[in-house]
């Protein structure tokens, strides 16, 4: 057996350990594990993380990598060796004690975050967040993949990307988004969102959300959907993908978040069988992953053509709320652009401002320019600068996201990168298939899905994000596609 095949089999077991870890996390969130059981779960996850760390950093892996580098490899094998080498180089820089402490702290922090958010009391979360930030700083210092700590953390989620590269994209967009929001809100004929303030039965919401993703070709033979506090998607095997949603937020959050998580899931489900149980059996970056979910949620799921097909069904489910509301007004309402407090409920235009806020705060937090106890005040100040409103409490402000409790500093910027990748990829798909909107009117979504599977999904992590976007669209990431998209979409919705 060649060294590359030995590495493939060796890392197949590591992938399965990761799936077990994901299963424990999934159980904690979906089954709402009692807080008194958290300590035991933290020890379990810490042990699995320790076992994964030991396997990746073993002398055997180092020797196999050196021998595999001498071989003549095909494209998949080369990509596999690239990713295995990356994991080996990262893990060998981290002491076992730090790895297990990060894993254990994330579980305990999640418990404190849930309580703090429920009570809108930042002090409950403050102490363990300080520990989490310190652990991530130490992690970044030991990894040292970039001169600055924040770029090192970003690189974990968007390989090869730095703070400066993202800042050069986000900084010019910042004033353009703020100005565009003001332009839309100057309209004398803005959409009316009052229909979403009515009561929508939670069971019917969930049933309808399942019906929609079934029509979008989600195979419940390989996946399932559950309710949680904060929606997410996770893979428990190559063909076991779980999505979640919530029915407690203002309607239609259950529908849009379900379609969003479907986008993540269908990406994982579309990876070609040859990559199953390998280190390549995942999305190539969180930005590309997010591009798939944002495309389905917004570009497709908030399009007029989508609602030309689905709105009659919605009226059947909620006749009292929607019987006298024309489809066009519903479509305008579902695309309202206005500053709001909660990121996951934000519209397509202001969403980027929510991410820029976190991007700027995280950079200063990691560099020690601000301290954890200052976060609520700084959050509110920056929120007012970017969105013109101030959160009324911590639950709708600094405590709204689960990410920091998990230690995911550096993750947030990938969300807005996803919007930008999405617009560019969809522009290419539309050029090749100009009749896509007509498909949606008929409830037909397989043509877009086939395009995405062929160009994005099947490749897993074979290509890095920068190479993939150029391979698909012929150019590097270009934010002008996103600006063109929102201009063409929202100007007529706001009747400007």
- Alpha-carbon distance 215 to 296, whole Å? 13
What pLDDT, on a 0 to 100 scale, did the predictor assign at position 242? 97
Residue 136 lies in a domain: no
Question: Residue range 140-150: average pLDDT?
Answer: 97
| pLDDT tens-place string over residues 443-456 | 999 999 999 999 99
Please determine, for residue 117, whether its predicted confidence score (pLDDT) is greater than 80. Answer: yes
Question: Residue range 290-318: average pLDDT?
Answer: 98
Residues 41 and 173 in one domain: no
Residues 227 and 353 in one domain: yes
- Alpha-carbon distance 288 to 283, whole Å? 7
pLDDT tier for residue 32 given thresholds of 50, 70 and 90: confident
Contacts of 82 (CB under 8 A, 6+ apart): none
Task: Look up the CATH number of the domain holding residue 354.
Answer: 1.10.1370.30
Buried b (16+ CB within 10 A) or exposed e, 122-148: bebbbebbebbbebbbbbbeebebbee
What pLDDT, on a 0 to 100 scale, did the predictor assign at position 320? 95
Residues 344 and 231 in one domain: yes
What pLDDT, on a 0 to 100 scale, did the predictor assign at position 37? 82
Residue 403 lies in a domain: yes
Residue 404: domain span: 163-493
What pLDDT, on a 0 to 100 scale, did the predictor assign at position 249? 84
Residues 200 and 287 in one domain: yes
pLDDT tier for residue 407 given thresholds of 50, 70 and 90: very high
What pLDDT, on a 0 to 100 scale, did the predictor assign at position 472? 98
Contacts of 175 (CB under 8 A, 6+ apart): none
Please determine, for residue 300, whether its predicted confidence score (pLDDT) is greater than 80. Answer: yes
| pLDDT tens-place string over residues 42-71 | 899 989 999 999 999 999 999 999 999 999
- The answer to whether the CB of 57 falls within 8 A of the CB of 91 is yes
Among 101, 119, 137, which residue terminates a domain? 119
Residue 432 lies in a domain: yes
Please determine, for residue 1, whether its predicted confidence score (pLDDT) is greater than 80. Answer: no
- Which long-range contacts link 147-151 to residues 24+ away (Cβ below 8 Å)? 148/367, 149/366, 149/367, 150/362, 150/363, 150/366, 150/367, 150/409, 150/410
What pLDDT, on a 0 to 100 scale, did the predictor assign at position 399? 97
Give me the numbers of helices (H) and strands (E) for the chain, helices first please: 21, 3
Residue 332 lies in a domain: yes
Q: Which of 29, 77, 91, 261 is flagged as catalytic?
A: 261
Residue 155 lies in a domain: no
What pLDDT, on a 0 to 100 scale, did the predictor assign at position 42? 85
Residues 371 and 475 in one domain: yes
Residue 146 lies in a domain: no
Residues 52 and 114 in one domain: yes
What pLDDT, on a 0 to 100 scale, did the predictor assign at position 155? 98
Look at the chain and report how many structural domains it folds into: 2
- Alpha-carbon distance 150 to 207, whole Å? 42
Residues 102 and 204 in one domain: no
Residues 348 and 274 in one domain: yes
Residues 369 and 458 in one domain: yes
Token couple for 220? 């419940």
Question: Residue range 318-340: average pLDDT?
Answer: 96
Residues 204 and 336 in one domain: yes
| pLDDT tens-place string over residues 89-113 | 999 999 999 999 999 999 899 889 9
Identify the CA nearest to 334 among candidates 491, 441, 192, 486: 192
What pLDDT, on a 0 to 100 scale, did the predictor assign at position 107? 87
Question: Residue range 279-305: average pLDDT?
Answer: 97
Residue 152 lies in a domain: no
Residues 488 and 419 in one domain: yes
Residue 34 lies in a domain: yes
Residues 93 and 201 in one domain: no
| pLDDT tens-place string over residues 339-373 | 999 998 899 999 999 999 999 999 999 999 999 99
158 is catalytic: no
């Amino acid at each position: 057996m060649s060294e590359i095949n030995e590495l493939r089999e060796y890392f197949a077991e590591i992938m399965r350990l990761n799936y077990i870890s994901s299963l424990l996390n999934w159980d904690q969130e979906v089954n709402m594990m009692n807080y008194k059981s958290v300590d035991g779960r933290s020890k379990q996850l810490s042990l699995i993380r320790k076992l994964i760390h030991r396997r990746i950093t073993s002398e055997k892996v180092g020797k196999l990598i050196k021998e595999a580098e001498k071989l003549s490899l095909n494209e998949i094998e080369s990509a596999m060796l690239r990713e295995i080498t990356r994991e080996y180089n990262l893990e060998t820089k981290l002491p076992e004690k730090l790895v297990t402490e990060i894993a254990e702290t994330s579980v305990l922090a999640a418990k404190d975050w849930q309580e703090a958010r429920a009570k809108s009391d930042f002090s409950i979360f403050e102490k363990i967040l300080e520990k989490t930030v310190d652990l991530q700083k130490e992690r970044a210092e030991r990894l040292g993949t970039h001169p600055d700590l924040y770029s090192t953390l970003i690189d974990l989620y968007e390989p090869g990307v730095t703070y400066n590269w993202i800042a050069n994209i986000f900084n010019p967009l910042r004033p353009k988004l703020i100005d565009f929001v003001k332009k839309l809100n100057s309209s004398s004929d803005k959409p009316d969102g009052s229909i979403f303030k009515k009561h929508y039965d939670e069971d019917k919401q969930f049933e309808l959300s399942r019906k929609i993703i079934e029509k979008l070709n989600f195979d419940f033979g390989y996946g399932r959907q559950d309710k949680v506090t904060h929606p997410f998607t996770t893979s428990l095997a190559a063909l076991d993908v779980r999505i979640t949603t919530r029915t407690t937020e203002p309607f239609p959050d259950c529908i849009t978040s379900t379609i969003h998580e479907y986008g993540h899931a269908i990406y994982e489900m579309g990876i070609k069988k040859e990559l199953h149980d390998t280190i390549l059996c995942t999305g190539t970056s969180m930005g590309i992953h997010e591009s798939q979910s944002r495309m389905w949620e917004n570009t497709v799921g908030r399009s007029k053509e989508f609602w030309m097909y689905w709105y009659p069904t919605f009226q059947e489910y909620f006749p009292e709320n929607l019987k006298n509301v024309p489809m066009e007004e519903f479509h305008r309402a579902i695309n309202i652009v206005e500053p709001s407090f909660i990121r996951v409920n934000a519209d397509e235009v202001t969403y980027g401002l929510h991410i820029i806020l976190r991007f700027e705060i995280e950079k200063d937090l990691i560099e020690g320019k601000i301290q954890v106890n200052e976060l609520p005040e700084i959050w509110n100040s920056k929120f007012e600068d970017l969105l013109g409103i101030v959160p009324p409490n911590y639950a709708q402000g600094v405590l709204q996201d689960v990410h920091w409790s998990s230690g995911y500093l550096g993750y947030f910027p990938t969300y807005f990168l996803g919007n930008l990748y999405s617009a560019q990829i969809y522009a290419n798909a539309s050029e090749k298939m100009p009749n896509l909107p007509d498909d949606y009117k008929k409830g037909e979504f397989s043509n877009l899905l086939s395009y995405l599977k062929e160009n994005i999904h099947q490749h897993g992590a074979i290509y890095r994000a920068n190479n993939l976007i150029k391979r698909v669209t012929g150019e590097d990431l270009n934010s002008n596609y996103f600006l063109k998209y929102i201009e063409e979409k929202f100007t007529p919705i706001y009747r400007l």
